[in-house]
Structure 1
């Protein structure tokens, strides 16, 4: 497991985000470190004001202190080597430094025919349009998309449709009340359904 250790300049707390007006860069960095933990990276933070002995115990950081007097803090250390200094890297830089592979989705990919057809399949199911579903199924199949990919897109569309139906029925119940029992389509109160009704 990769371990990233951040050697912070003197701060009032371990993250520097306490107080009435926290530095937004420190808040952003704290959130990025939490994200890094979810990617399987071990993260440690060492505050010069609270743990100066740990700065001296890390050879690379001690050399940095001797060189700059602490002006180049923070320092990020991975495997005993300083990989960044003098600023808090943004999330993409943290991921690269820690060797975390992230999905880089480009605008060209999002606009590709395959993605558009999968979106269209989901939209066709959500809209309840059989003709659109058949058309986009054939187009997606022609592009080489698998049945599993198309099935997942359709399932998402079905979930959207079900959620919309549930929502509108809830609004209907709130505005005009529940359904009344009638002879049409049976129901608990109907002895026999009306012929040809359902």
Structure 2
């Protein structure tokens, strides 16, 4: 399944616009997951992408946006336009593209 994960800083400050944009992403068929550093620190340390960014940049890396397991953005929240571009360019997982060992074209 296509997935976007948002790793929020402990303050969790984001506007209502971003929350609405995430709802829109969910309506496009993506699983949306959000995690808060203050209440779910183990999720941050157990995700290798997130851990690598935090080890490198510290709290300045937050928020982190992970799209289908890959780092999409760090240090700020994306706009809806950015997320729309990610969705349009995101490859389908093999389970959705391939059938009988052959990929659709």
Fold equivalence (TM over 0.5)? yes
Three-state SS of the structure 2 residue aligned to 1:71 is helix
Instruction: Please report the RMSD computed on the Cα atoms of aligned residues, expressed in angstroms.
Output: 1.9
Unaligned runs of 5+ in 1: 17-24, 101-198
Unaligned runs of 5+ in 2: 90-105
Deviations 1:76-112 (A, max 9, x none): 1122211111111111111111337xxxxxxxxxxxx
Corresponding residue number in structure 2 for 1:11? 11
CA distance in 1, matches of 2:69, 2:2: 11
Deviations 1:117-159 (A, max 9, x none): xxxxxxxxxxxxxxxxxxxxxxxxxxxxxxxxxxxxxxxxxxx
Corresponding residue number in structure 2 for 1:91? 80
Which structure 1 residue ranges, 4+ long, deviate > 4 Å from structure 2?
Answer: none
How many residues are matched?
Answer: 90
- Asked which structure has the greater RCO (Cα within 8 Å, sep 6+), the reply is 2
Structure with bigger strand share is 2
Corresponding residue number in structure 2 for 1:184? none
Corresponding residue number in structure 2 for 1:42? 31
User: Which protein shows a greater Rg?
Assistant: 1
Deviations 1:17-43 (A, max 9, x none): xxxxxxxx5211001001111111110
Alignment of 1:52-131 (within 5 A): 52-99=41-88
Three-state SS of the structure 1 residue aligned to 2:71 is strand
Q: State the TM-score, normalized to the length of structure 1.
A: 0.42
Q: State the TM-score, normalized to the length of structure 2.
A: 0.77
